[in-house]
Amino acid sequence: MEKSYRTNNIIFTTLVLLTLFTWILGQAEIVGDISGVINGKIFFLILLTIAIIKVQLIGDFFMHLNTVSGFWRWIITLWVMLTGGFIAIAFLL
């Protein structure tokens, strides 16, 4: 059970750090936008990847889908890949 609390803490910390990183990237992009030096598409892909990872972490460790086998294991993954995919198509193409 100690293991469970520890895992919970680690996942939570990871999620918060990823969130902070997203915010920082957002600030940097606004600054970079003005000076016109950055590649918006790279920023976008990083932000999207982080978002997908965060969603997957929630699914696996908070919703405990990592204890499930079969179709339902991948339900959140399926959703985030589809949603992320559509967003990517819209932003990049």
Partner 1 sequence: MYMQDTIKTKYPPGDLALWIFICAELLVFAIFFAAYAFTRASNIELFNQYQATLNTDLALLNTIALLSSSYFVVSAIISIKENKQKQSTLFLFLSIVGACAFLIMKMTEYTHHMSEGINLTTNLFYMFYLSLTFFHFMHVILGVMILTVLWFNTRKGLYTADNHDGLVSGGAYWHMVDLVWLILFPLIYIMR
Does position 81 interact with partner 1 (CB under 8 A)? The reply is no
Residue 34 as a binder of partner 1 (CB under 8 A): the answer is: no
Residue 87 in the binding site for partner 1 (CB under 8 A): yes
> CA–CA separation, 44 vs 71, rounded Å?
30
How far apart, in whole angstroms, are the C-alpha atoms of residue 88 and residue 44?
9
- Of the candidate residues 35, 37, 44, 77, the single one contacting partner 1 (CB under 8 A): 44
**How many CA atoms are closer than 13 Å to the CA of 34, on its beta-carbon side?**
5
Cα distance between residue 80 and residue 33, in whole Å: 28
Q: Where do contacts with partner 1 occur on this chain (CB under 8 A)? A: 1, 4-5, 8, 12, 15-16, 19-20, 22-23, 25-27, 29-30, 33, 40, 43-44, 47-48, 50-51, 54-55, 58-59, 61-65, 67-70, 72, 75-76, 79-80, 82-84, 86-87, 89-91, 93
